[in-house]
Structure 1
Amino acid sequence: MAAIKQPRYRVIALRIAEKISTNQLKVGDKIHARSTLATTFGVSAETARRAISVLVDLGIVETRHGSGVVVTSRQKAQDYVNTEQEVNGLQSLQQDLKNQIKAQQAALTTLGASLQSFIDQSQHYQQHNPLTPFELALTAPSAMFEKELRELNFWHKTGTTLVGIMHDDKLTISPGPYAKVFQGDTLYFVGDQNSVQSVSNFFYQN
């Protein structure tokens, strides 16, 4: 998961709290002067002061006149560490989810563009390719049903070429002479602009 960058003073406050929670710094111990903290962490004295202020506000340390900064509560230090870990985990999860959503949106945009391109090309093909199949659903009864294509003499009678038969949701491509046509089938065929009418007449006006 992506890490969330914290202000430097909060990072320092957390590091000090971790030392207190693991007993590297004990209750009653004095914390180094701000100038020493600044040198240790490579930050300005003001950043070190702000880090100490966070710990003071949380009751982990206190400033005593003449003694400087003194550790006062290991439990509060542990609570602070736990809270920060939970917050960082939630922030990381939030960022990770945002990244996933962004990636999904980009993928959907690409998919949408590809789909539109496919639709545009399909429409162009249908408009300019004379071999685009026509289709006709045979819903009404006909005396021509349940006969083999060789008996029907389909090509000679309709002037079209049968390229597929959809029967019970199963598509047969380039059906042979022994294939049969049934009520409820959908026929796919190629021919001129009058092909649909020719095939319809063949089944229903004989």
Structure 2
Amino acid sequence: MADSEKAGYKSIALDIAQRIVSGEIPVGSKISGRSLLAGQYHVSPETIRKAIGLLKEENIVSVTQGKEITVISNRNAYEYITKHNYLKSVYSLKQDLQLLLQEKQNIDRRFESILTEIMEASDRLQNLKPYNPIELKIHSHSHVIGMTIASLQFWQNTGATIIALRRGTNVSISPGPHVVLLEDDVLVVVGEEKAFEKTKQFINRPR
């Protein structure tokens, strides 16, 4: 038996055991047939058969002659994943990663869409359309942390205009003068080419 095949069905057995412990697959419930499981995990029915065989040996599931798979013990499932020092299998981790990547893509698309709408629809920016917006992150040493946009006299000191502020996953469009700037905030500014460098120096100036 190839090492990759062996690792594959063991990983699937661990993943199913983890799902039983978490309550996703409760005790007494029936697990889908081998062909459906094979589709979920993208492996052959034979690999699924071996994974279910491992769970049966550990008295986690029972298998009738009609091939019906029933969950019989979540305690044995917990002992199984503990014994193998597995809190999450490769499949669960891969699923989490896919969800995070999808969330990131959605945030990036939303941010790009908002910037496009601003550049196309805002009367305030009619004369600034030739200039592309740039992003500037506020670092931990910056003197602007804890200060409002108004108190910094941002436009007077830089010649640039703040069109958006990104804080984590939240985006504020045209933040008002009383917004307090924090570490790791990302300012989206527009202005002439010289204003960009001036703004960068202004933002990064230490306290």
TM-score range with shorter-chain normalisation?
A: 0.3 to 0.5
Scaled by the length of structure 1, the TM-score of the pair is 0.38
Scaled by the length of structure 2, the TM-score of the pair is 0.38
